[in-house]
Amino acid sequence: MPVDYPIDLRQYITMKSIYKLIVILIVFSIFCSSCQTTGRQDSFIVNHRSAHVPLGEFEAQFHPFLSMGGLTKQTVKVFYYPREDAVCIQYVMNFFTYNQFWSRTGRQVFLSALQQYNIDYDERSLTRSRRTIKAYGDVLGYLIWQQFSFSVRARANAKIELGYTFRDRSPYFTINQRETEFIDPESQENYRKSPVVTMYLTRTQAAQIAAFFDQDMLAGFAPAGSAEPDNYDDDYFESEAGSEVNADRDEY
């Protein structure tokens, strides 16, 4: 004699599938919410005409495009934009002036990354691998770049990776600025792409950047700043290009 089920078997299977789908959607929603609360920035923008304060300068090594002579040392300028609470690292590479902006969140990540690098350095646990150039994570930066004062001033967010690499048997802490592009909504002719640029730093040089990133020091500046707006974007010069860098290597 057939059993009289209160619910048809096919209906039961369908309802069970619906319940599984609802559970999956709930779990996915919770996962997405947790991702949004990790502190990673979705956007970061700086007005280059905002009042800003010159903080000083430091030296760093770069590898110019098509260079066959290894790393070259340049002087890098540093500015603070109190209104946006952003620190600008300005350097010249391949006839372009780059203004690399760091938010407070990005600066905190940099300081933590440098601390871990120093620990790894002292423990002699650094390894030779291409992947170590992003060993300590990445941050969202804002980039403004321009070739000449009369050319288009391109701007875009850029991923900045923190890590290290070896050059000629010496380790360097690295700031690896990833490729990014500027798309002008008003003119397709103004399309600009910024290539990957890596900054190579000895521990002493990296410590100088850490000093510029110190929040207690930056908090001492008035919100309005003290410099005239747009007073540095048109300064195009390459400092000490081709300088010898052997004396600044870290022994390892």
pLDDT-based confidence at 18, cuts 50/70/90? Answer: low
Nearest partner of 60 among 217, 233, 249, 202, judged by Cα: 202
State whether the Cα torsion 118-120-124-129 is positive or negative.
negative
Q: What is the mean pLDDT of residues 21-38?
A: 43
Looking at per-residue pLDDT, the higher value among 35 and 160 belongs to 160
Residue 206 has pLDDT above 90, yes or no: yes
DSSP per-residue string spanning the chain:
-----SS-HHHHHHHHHHHHHHHHHHHHHHHHHHHTTS---S-----TTS--EEEEEEEEEE--TT-SS--EEEEEEEEEETTTTEEEEEEEETTEEEEEEE-HHHHHHHHHHHHHHHHHHHTT-----GGGGGTT-EEEEEEEEESSTTS--EEEEEEEEEEEEEETTEEEEEEEE--EEE--TT-GGG-EEE--EEEEE-HHHHHHHHHHT-HHHHTTS-TT-SS-TTSSTT----TTTTB--GGGPPP-
Residue 139 has pLDDT above 60, yes or no: yes
Which residues does residue 140 pair with via DSSP β-bridges, in sequence order?
159
The model carries a pTM of 0.73
- Looking at the chain, the whole-number percentage of residues with pLDDT higher than 90 is 52
Q: What is the mean pLDDT of residues 110-115?
A: 98
Residue 210 has pLDDT above 50, yes or no: yes
Q: What is the mean pLDDT of residues 94-117?
A: 96
Residue 230 has pLDDT above 60, yes or no: no
Q: Which long-range contacts (CB under 8 A, 24 or more apart) does 62-71 make?
A: 62/91, 62/93, 62/197, 62/198, 62/199, 62/200, 63/198, 63/200, 64/93, 64/94, 64/241, 65/93, 65/94, 65/195, 69/242, 70/167, 70/168, 70/245, 71/167, 71/200, 71/245
Q: Of the ranges 1-5, 12-16, 141-145, which is most confident?
A: 141-145
- Looking at the chain, the whole-number percentage of residues with pLDDT higher than 70 is 67
User: Which residue matches tokens 């048109």?
Assistant: 234
pLDDT-based confidence at 225, cuts 50/70/90? Answer: very low
CA distance 46 to 99: 10
pLDDT at res. 180: 87
Q: What is the mean pLDDT of residues 182-202?
A: 80
Nearest partner of 177 among 200, 153, 202, 160, judged by Cα: 160
What is the average pLDDT value for the chain, to the nearest integer? 79
Question: Does residue 137 contact residue 114 with C-beta atoms inside 8 Å?
Answer: no
Residues 41-54 pLDDT 10s: 667 899 989 999 99
